[in-house]
Amino acid sequence: MPLEMLPPGETAVLLIDHQVGTMSWVGSTDRDVLKANALALAKAAKALDMPLILTSSMEDRAQGPLADEFEEIAPAEFAARVRRTGVVNAMDDLAFADAVTATQRGILIVAGVTNDVCTVYPTLTALEQGYTVYVVADAGGSTSRIADDVALRLMEQAGAVVTSTNMVLTGLARDWTSPAGQALVPVVGALVPA
């Protein structure tokens, strides 16, 4: 499915492990940009009434809590986040897998920290299960650039569409004069450098 045909009514957003500690481990990209992009995806999900699933891993350990801003953007989803207790592949966590299934959406927009751990495994599992998966590379990162490149290449070779936040947002909008486009104008505008 081409990116420009990304239909909000068939799409869910999965944000994996955007935790304070986990994001501090990223060395492949600017952490503030990564976080802003992940928050933009959450805002887009809310603006377009797309299911948004948040998950974290071991919040009481070095990974730390999920970024506070998610609670402001999506309070119900933040409260209902799947708190994994050590399962690396989020799709191996029954609560997370059930939440994905419950969306009844065939297209998944996925972003996680780190791409080489948190994003790659659930993406590969979702692809095996028949989902169409868009991996938002710049809403995640890895400990090193080479780790990020390898993970993104692997997901793309497996069939995921590797993309960017702006490409996803504009693909969802399609037309700035449409209701979806109008809902996303402030989200996209907030990402434009001052």
Question: Which are the contacts of 170, defined by CB distance < 8 A and separation ≥ 6?
Answer: 188
Strands (E), 30-123: 52-57, 82-84, 107-112
CA dist., res. 67 & res. 42, Å (int): 12
* Catalytic positions, written as ranges: 118
CA dist., res. 65 & res. 54, Å (int): 12
CA dist., res. 111 & res. 23, Å (int): 12
Is 71 in contact with 77 (CB distance < 8 Å)? no
Question: Which are the contacts of 126, defined by CB distance < 8 A and separation ≥ 6?
Answer: 91, 100, 108, 110, 133
